[in-house]
Amino acid sequence: MKLLSTTILGMLRTAGGKKRSQTDMAKLAEVSLRTYQNWESGVSNVPLHKYVQLCVKLSVEPSQLIPSLSALVRGGEQAGIEEIDKVDQTKHE
């Protein structure tokens, strides 16, 4: 899950071609800088409503942040989705 959260937060930080600081992102999410840093480093999980809040404030369509199934399969265990490999193998047997 850490890799996925980091990827999504990174995409939001650069939305619209602008590179935002962690401080900027924390203010947009209405959380402390430490909380935002913990999200990026994977220490704590980003609540879904905070993803939505950031998307709204940055005019980003949430569906643009969700990787395709094939990207998740390539990411495998790193993305925290070990079960996808099992499902994919079953389909090809």
Query: What pLDDT, in 10s, does the model give residues 54-92?
Result: 999 999 988 888 765 555 555 554 544 444 445 445 445
pTM of this structure: 0.68
- Please report, for the domain that includes residue 85, its CATH number: 1.10.260.40
Range of the domain at 83: 2-92
Identify which has the larger pLDDT, 51 or 74: 51
* CA-to-CA separations, 58 to 1, 6, 43, 52, 75, in angstroms, rounded: 23, 17, 24, 10, 27
Q: Which of 3, 68, 15 is nearest to 39 (CA)?
A: 3
Predicted local confidence at residue 16, as pLDDT: 87
Domain count, the chain: 1
What would the pLDDT profile of 9-37 be if each residue is shown by its tens digit? 999 999 989 999 999 999 999 999 999 99
